[in-house]
Each structure stands twice: as structure tokens, then as C-alpha cells.
């Protein structure tokens, strides 16, 4: 399974690792993803999502139902 946020669709970026001697090798910058279970009271069910910590802060602020609606309007889910 890919390392992608289920809500924001954040994914890994590619960059260079630069050593002390200034030689450059490719590396990846991964998003900070957490696997969390959320309870949706409207549906009386639990869902498991792999979300970034920025999406988790949004969910904590506005609630899971509003966050799902917001990201659905943006077209990311």
C-alpha cells in the first residue's frame, strides 16, 4: 500500500541527500502518516483511515463528518 494520506492525498517527495563533501544522492521525504479509527455517529460505524498529522489536526478541530465533506468538495476523496 502506498504512503499516501487518504484525505489530503499527500505523498512522498523526492530530493537530494547532501553529504559533508557536497556529494548528492537521491532520497525521499515521506509524509507523517498515522493510522487512526474514527467513529461516524451519523452512520453509527467506525472507519480506519491513514491520515497525515495536518489532516488529523483538521479532524480534531472541525470533526470527522465535516472534514470528510470538506475534502470531498476539494475532490481529494
Domain count, the chain: 1
pLDDT at residue 72 is higher than 80: yes
CATH number (domain holding residue 21) = 2.30.170.40
- Report yes or no on 2 lying in a domain: no
- Report yes or no on 4 lying in a domain: no
* Pair 33, 52: CB distance under 8 Å: yes
- Report yes or no on 65 lying in a domain: yes
Return the pLDDT at 1. 65
Cell representation of residue 72: 470531498
Residue 65, CA distances (Å) to 12, 30, 38, 68 in order: 27, 27, 10, 5
- Report yes or no on 6 lying in a domain: no
Q: Which domain holds residue 27?
A: 13-74
pLDDT at residue 32 is higher than 70: yes
| pLDDT tens digits along 2-22 | 899 999 999 999 999 999 999
- Report yes or no on 61 lying in a domain: yes
Tell me the pTM.
Answer: 0.82
Amino acid at each position: 500500500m502506498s504512503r499516501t494520506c487518504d484525505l489530503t492525498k499527500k505523498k512522498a517527495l523526492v530530493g537530494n541527500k547532501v553529504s559533508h563533501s557536497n556529494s548528492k544522492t537521491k532520497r525521499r521525504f515521506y509524509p507523517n502518516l498515522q493510522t487512526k479509527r474514527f467513529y461516524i455517529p451519523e452512520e453509527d460505524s467506525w472507519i480506519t483511515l491513514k491520515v497525515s498529522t495536518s489532516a488529523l489536526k483538521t479532524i480534531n478541530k472541525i470533526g470527522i463528518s465535516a472534514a470528510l465533506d470538506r475534502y470531498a468538495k476539494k475532490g481529494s476523496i
